[in-house]
Amino acid sequence: MATVLLRIETFRQSVEQRLPPRLHGVLVSAALIGLCTLGYYLRRPSVSLQPGLYAEDGSIFLQQAIDQGFGSLLRLYAGYSHLLQRLTAFTAVNLLSPLTYPGFFLLVAWVSWLLPLISVEALIGAGVFGRVMRVTYIPYVYYPYAGETYLNLPNAYIFFPLGFILMAYGVVAQQGSGRPEAFRAPLLKALLLLYGLVAALTGPFVAIYTIPLLIFHGLRRRRLPIRPLWLSLPVLLSSLQIYFSQLQTNYPLSKAQALAKLLGRPALLLDWFTVHLISPLLGGYKPWWYLRGLPDPLQLLAVLVVLALVLLALRVLTARMGQSALLYLAIFSTLVLSFSSLLVATRRGVELELMVVEDAGGRFFYWNTVLFLSVLLLAFVYLARDQRTRNSATARALAVWLVLTVVFYHNNVINRPVSEMSATGQIRTLVYEDQLREQCSRPQSLPIQIFGGPTWNFQLGQRQIELLCPGRT
């Protein structure tokens, strides 16, 4: 094994010496992004090979784009703008045949997932992040609980803003370091501004992460953090997402009533914390299958052990960071997001028992999973490559954690067939293309079923039928 590693290192040094530094950096970044793409694709190849629309794709975004045109871009759904999804749907219904909707939506989902990787590589190339940050690609590719978030457009708002958030943290981390500004080209600043504006109006995540970041940055510099404008303008705009979702949306329960309801069920809170915030750090659902059968004191002990390991990893990591406050700020924002999702679900009237079901709201805990897995992995790498700490108690504990996580890993991405039950009780799989062919043979618009359940369908307008069935009168 040592001989293989030595040969790889010799080959790498040889290539690095022959190529110009900039070209070498680009090729390394492209190779790593390609490797991550392959790994993510292999989690469920059928999703990419046989793309399909997913839930809100049709019943919300496509249908409103068909019915309301440009006005659909200004609509809210669940209190948020979902601008990326609405721009995608608006483009599709006006320019593309309905046959291409699934492939086009899949393309946007892929791009939104790739953007954070591209952003980190850009920050590494600019000298803002160290190359060790590439360790975080592992949880980004293989994070558990991916059933809700894997390559579908409705949940692209989880990934799309992440690249901009990483850029924001990287720029704030760099300021005060004495190095020149990372992104100085006017065209690049314009692209970052456009990225930020769409990200800010796609979901609440830019607001949750970057508003505290700019407050922290302003207090540290003792003046308003106006520059760079490509960062500050999207952050100000992102505050609208919080306003619309929290102050302009009525829920059956108030915050106080929801908190009282939650605090009245401490055992259920422990289950929620275990299944959504702790079990993913141990590989996914398999640990939860074992932990939920334990008495509450033992389950609490298991949770505390994992939390202690995270704190140890944080201690290792922050000792080697230039600005550890930014990591703590990201953790604070992540925990706010995780617990606010529980609070909002309670305010909406969701039964507490339903919140401890696997994959219940899993998209909102993705941030917690990837961030803390990254902390644990980075700490292990730092300890393992330093001969003085390689055999320390913390390194051994993290090694045990890593082995357990690999053993318990559960890839929960599944196929997404669309089925319906006939009057006689028979279940048949609906094929999107077959439904569209039937549409061309009917004079009236038919509901196109894209997901399980009676509400997940949409109906084409005259413009879309003309694109689908050319020559039909």
Question: Structural domain boundaries of the chain?
Answer: 44-247, 255-408, 418-468
Structure tokens at 304: 């505390």
Give me the DSSP letters along 204-241. SHHHHHHHHHHHHHHHHHTS----SHHHHHHHHHHHHH
Structure tokens at 105: 């939506």
As a whole number of angstroms, the distance between CA 274 and CA 407 comes to 18
Can you give the pLDDT at residue 425?
67
167 and 123 in contact (C-beta within 8 Å)?
yes
Mean pLDDT of all residues in 307-320: 93
* Mean pLDDT, all residues of the chain: 85
> Hey, what's the torsion of the CAs at 350, 356, 360, 364, to 10 degrees?
100
Structure tokens at 446: 């038919």
382 and 316 in contact (C-beta within 8 Å)?
yes
Residue 421 bridge partners (DSSP) = 427
How confident is residue 1, by pLDDT bands cut at 50, 70 and 90? very low
As a whole number of angstroms, the distance between CA 361 and CA 412 comes to 14
pLDDT in tens, 59-113: 889 999 999 989 988 888 877 888 999 999 999 999 999 999 999 999 999 999 9
Structure tokens at 75: 């609509």
pLDDT in tens, 134-180: 999 999 999 988 888 899 998 898 999 999 999 989 888 877 555 66
Can you give the pLDDT at residue 19?
60
Structure tokens at 216: 């922290």
Can you give the pLDDT at residue 380?
93
Residue 17 has pLDDT above 70, yes or no: no
| Distance in Å from the first CA to the final CA of the chain | 69
Mean pLDDT of all residues in 437-444: 85
As a whole number of angstroms, the distance between CA 168 and CA 413 comes to 31
453 and 83 in contact (C-beta within 8 Å)?
no
Mean pLDDT of all residues in 227-251: 79
Can you give the pLDDT at residue 407?
92
How confident is residue 3, by pLDDT bands cut at 50, 70 and 90? low
Can you give the pLDDT at residue 5?
45
Residue 464 bridge partners (DSSP) = none
Backbone φ, ψ for residue 250 (5° rounding): -90, 135
Can you give the pLDDT at residue 136?
94
pLDDT in tens, 367-407: 999 999 999 999 999 998 888 888 889 999 999 999 999 99
As a whole number of angstroms, the distance between CA 191 and CA 96 comes to 25
- Least confident range of 37-41, 204-208, 454-458: 454-458
Specify the pTM.
0.89
| Tokens 């045990």 -> residue | 400
Choose the most confident range, by mean pLDDT, from 320-334, 371-385, 448-462. 371-385
Mean pLDDT of all residues in 288-317: 92
Structure tokens at 87: 């721009």
